[in-house]
Amino acid sequence: MPSTNRHCALITGPTAGIGHEIARQLAARGSDLVLVARNEERLGEVALAFAQEFGTKCEVIAADLTDRDSLAAVEARLADASRPIDLLVNNAGFGLKGRFLDNSIEAEQAHLDVLVVAPMRLTHAALGPMVARGSGQIVNVSSVAGYLPRGTYSAAKAYVTRFSEWAHNEYRPQGVHVMALCPGFVRTEFHERMEVGRDSAPSFLWLDVEEFVTAALADLDAGKAVSIPTLRYKAIVAGAKYVPTGLLQRFQSFGRK
């Protein structure tokens, strides 16, 4: 169990990809961790690896974030003021390769539950004790896709970004820093699980996960409300404001092939 006198971070989706790299870099900084994912066996393997490499104390919570009872258990852990969480990272991902009508409504609902409902509820649970003690950080992993027309995934990520920006301004005076982290294409298992090839987007758009997370944590340390690592993606986001939606929509197949 994480100790109460060391920095402690709770991370959803830490067994692979961006979440795993965030957890690894936080462990290297000396943070204790609460790791949340569906696969209990894999959680145990990750926790053991971090303990052996960094001496990190890890607590694991096996939870399916599409299930409201499982989600409630994570909410309860965040709300436990006797075991404070200093940093919440809402990272758990969900990708649908098909377009809207290619997916079942059940798949779309699960997609919404993981990308929108879970971060909203977990942020709410974490904010209470953070505001009460006057300190805390929350990172909601969003996406550059939130600035682009890419179906329900973009809509979900647009919510996460705007919600995080609002929460940052609302609770910063009370000592709580909320940041939306907006990756583009990052070399992780996320696209592999969707059976998406590296040639589905131009090579210059793919980012190294270690460098990406290092930049993201630097933005967190700097107190930014939104982190869009790398100049290339900052430029894409800035330029998207001036490109007609219909034209942008022609490129929605990027990252889906």
Q: Which residues 6+ apart lie within 8 Å of 105 measured at CB?
A: none
Cα dihedral 203/205/208/213 (nearest 10): 180
- Give the DSSP H/E element, type plus range, for residue 190: helix 189-193
Catalytic residue among 153, 159, 171, 233: 153
Closest of 5, 24, 4 to residue 14, by C-alpha: 24
Residue 233 annotated to the active site: no
Closest of 102, 114, 31, 135 to residue 70, by C-alpha: 114
Cα dihedral 126/6/82/78 (nearest 10): 20
Catalytic residues: 153
